[in-house]
Amino acid sequence: MDANAKYLTLALDVRAITDSLIDFVEESKELPKADELLDSFLNSLTELPGVSVKTLSDMGRFGNYESLKTINELFDAGKKKELTAKLHAVSDPSAKSRRSSALQAITILDALERTALYYYEHPGPVSKLALAS
Amino acid sequence: MNEAHTLVLKEAADLHRFLQPIAKLCAVSETDHPYYRKSSYEFFSHLDKLIGMTLKYLEDLPQKPSKYPQIQRSVRQKLQVLRSSWGKLHRYIKPSLDADALHIPLSLLDAFQDLLQQVPRCGEFEFAVFQLTEVNYAMLTYEEVNRIANRIAGMVKGKEFPPALSLVGIPYSQSSGLFLNCLIPHEMAHFVYQERVGPEIKLKVDEILNVYHPAKTGTPEEKLELSQIRGLINTWVEEVFCDLFAISLIGPAFTFAFAEMTSAALIGEEGQRNATKAFDFSLSHPADVARFYLHKRHLKALGWWEPIERWKCSPVRLLRYCERVHKQTALSPEINQGTSVRLNLQCFWEACEWLLKFVKEEVPSPATEIKDFFDQYRVISNYLKRAIVPSTIVTDSGVVHPSPAVLINSGYRFVLEELHKLLRNIEKRSENSVADRSWYTERLELWVLKALEDWRLLNKSKEAK
């Protein structure tokens, strides 16, 4: 596989999450209850001290080198926690300010999507490190 | 109308303008010339509908201005990702349009597709073909086409990409060839991996990796290194799976084509570890030497090794050589140092031991094909020596229409071992002439391709009766 295409699919996966947040804000459509994509993304944001194949596997589509590198480059531990909290708040019907959390999460996710698209459009040192498959 | 929404409309109109000409290209009618395989029409038809839905999505945007600036910005970002995604698919539309029925090895592709559809759980699989400018073969992975098309569909409320359809790229110049095109089953196998067996194989790889890289505390960099190791092992194992699958489907012809493509015959001749990259595991592929070693193991397990082991041609010598030296393979310097230090190649070899058994069980044994090959290749050689298309041959057991695997491997055997006999039978042709050898190899390919076409017709008429 064209290694760079992994950045495009990362951008598209992030967009799928963002679109569900937009639907929530604009149409009050709740996020899907069991969303594998969102769960994998949340796992990729969780900072665990352990390094294991299992933690990578739990990250699903976000456990590959390109996704991890882009996420780590853009978000420090604090930002990851903040985004996780916002996404959990939107998913929890009893949480306060759900709409405001969704709007903030959209802004953060847009930054991630933009960075992934940048790496897709500009093959450079980062993508040279990446894997082809 | 606020300024942000005006920007959304402007950018949507730009994307609309970009997509309009592509929409015209995708509107391919089945009644027009040129003609395509059914799978290509399916591909064009899907893109035609998807682009129609994308245009409709863009046209509907003015009706939904958001009051939230965050969403207005996000919609602009969405237009950008839509453009990039269509830009990605754009790459394959013209090469697919160029691959009409007159510019692809039609009978060979049909034969390969028939063979593939006999494999359990692959009965529905179909392949559209596109042309590559590189002298290489490629399958567009799920991530490169299907997922991108499906994500576009998710954004514009379009339909899912046909689940059994994938795209295989072949060099644009090889439409009339046979031998090199025997690499196509490897590319088809990538789709089988992605759609059917990938999760099971990846689970096994994770199990093996767990032994060599047990859970421990570590830095984010170490986590990143482990993700690269996991990615590399999975990439290499997928390539080996595709090799073994191709051998199960068409026998040693795949190995011979691979040896030709990689100029691997030189590996054994050079005999020096440092003189070739064939010993290196790279970012995208396992070492060629490791692959040929595993080919030999699989050929032996299936029963193909016995009929070919006495051949004097260079690919057979190469298989023996790679068996002797496969342990000398190593990681390429292109893999970063941190990862290289931690990556233990034993993970790969263990996964391959399991994979050899797995492929043998998953892909039906071609035992009858091998027996037929044993019984028929000498007769087929006699036909080819006299420039006769071997569609119907007379063997000790009677009149036979040789099957595709028998035809392809007998043809390959003939060009590797006996082409000189054909040249000796033809006036004013010399076995020492490169031009004559090239010309008659092409003729030979055409005869075998004709026999493949006939086999399909004869079989269909047999089924109809």
Binned at pLDDT 50, 70 and 90, residue B430 comes out as confident
Q: How far apart are CA B16 and CA B58, in angstroms?
A: 7
B61-100 residues touching A, CB cutoff 8 A: 64, 66, 68, 70-71, 73-75, 77-78, 80-81, 84-85, 88
**Residues in chain B closer than 8 A to A15 (CB atoms):** 77-78, 81, 151, 155
Phi, psi of A63 (to 5 degrees): -90, 0
Per-residue model confidence as pLDDT tens digits over A29-71? 999 887 899 999 999 998 887 888 888 998 999 999 999 999 9
**Contact indicator for B247, B369 with CB cutoff of 8 Å:** no
Evaluate if residue B2 carries a pLDDT over 80: no
**Contact indicator for B418, B381 with CB cutoff of 8 Å:** yes
Q: Hey, what are B165's tokens?
A: 């359809």
Query: How confident is the model over B14-27, as a mean pLDDT?
Result: 93
**Pairing of the two strands A50-51 and B165-171:** unpaired
State whether residue A37 sits within 8 Å of chain B by CB. Answer: no
Q: Mean pLDDT across chain B, nearest whole number?
A: 90
Q: For residue B208, give how far its alpha carbon lies from the nearest alpha carbon of chain A (Å).
A: 10
Evaluate if residue B208 carries a pLDDT over 90: yes
- Would you call A96 helix, strand, or coil by DSSP? coil
**Contact indicator for B137, B258 with CB cutoff of 8 Å:** no
Q: How far apart are CA B89 and CA B105, in angstroms?
A: 24
- Walk across the sheet containing B126-132 and list its strands: B126-132, B165-171, B138-139
State whether residue A60 sits within 8 Å of chain B by CB. Answer: no
Query: How confident is the model over B371-376, as a mean pLDDT?
Result: 91
Binned at pLDDT 50, 70 and 90, residue B352 comes out as very high
Q: Hey, what are B248's tokens?
A: 């199960």
Which of B70, B81, B143 is nearest residue A11 as measured by Cβ atoms? B81
- Does the beta-carbon distance from A19 to B214 stay under 8 Å? no
A73-102 residues touching B, CB cutoff 8 A: none
**Contact indicator for A52, B214 with CB cutoff of 8 Å:** yes
Res A126: pLDDT: 40
**Contact indicator for B236, B348 with CB cutoff of 8 Å:** yes
State whether residue B208 sits within 8 Å of chain A by CB. Answer: no
Which of A1, A22, A110 is nearest residue B143 as measured by Cβ atoms? A1
**Contact indicator for A99, B200 with CB cutoff of 8 Å:** no
Q: How far apart are CA B259 and CA B335, in angstroms?
A: 25
- Would you call B131 helix, strand, or coil by DSSP? strand
**Residues in chain A closer than 8 A to B66 (CB atoms):** 26
Evaluate if residue B189 carries a pLDDT over 60: yes
- ipTM of this predicted structure: 0.91
Closest CA to B224 of A14, A51, A1: A51
Q: How far apart are CA B88 and CA A94, in angstroms?
A: 42
Res A130: pLDDT: 36
State whether residue A25 sits within 8 Å of chain B by CB. Answer: yes
Which residues pair with residue B131 across a beta bridge?
B170
Percent of chain A beyond pLDDT 90? 68
Closest CA to A13 of A46, A35, A29, A28: A35
Query: How confident is the model over B8-25, as a mean pLDDT?
Result: 94
**Which residues have a Cβ under 8 Å from the Cβ of B462 and sit 6 or more positions away?**
none
Q: How far apart are CA B443 and CA B455, in angstroms?
A: 18
Helix/strand/coil percent split, chain B, to 5: 70, 5, 25
Q: How far is CA A29 from the centre of its chain?
A: 20
Evaluate if residue B6 carries a pLDDT over 90: no
**Which residues have a Cβ under 8 Å from the Cβ of B424 and sit 6 or more positions away?**
B431
**Residues in chain A closer than 8 A to B220 (CB atoms):** 72
Chain A and chain B share a number of CB contacts under 8 A equal to 137
Residue type, B275: A
**Contact indicator for B78, B155 with CB cutoff of 8 Å:** yes
- What is the greatest pairwise CA distance in chain B? 86
**Which residues have a Cβ under 8 Å from the Cβ of A90 and sit 6 or more positions away?**
A21, A24, A31, A98, A101, A102, A105
- Would you call B63 helix, strand, or coil by DSSP? helix
In this predicted structure, which of B42-56, B131-145, B293-307 has the lowest mean pLDDT? B131-145
Closest CA to B108 of B307, B239, B249, B238: B249
Evaluate if residue B273 carries a pLDDT over 60: no
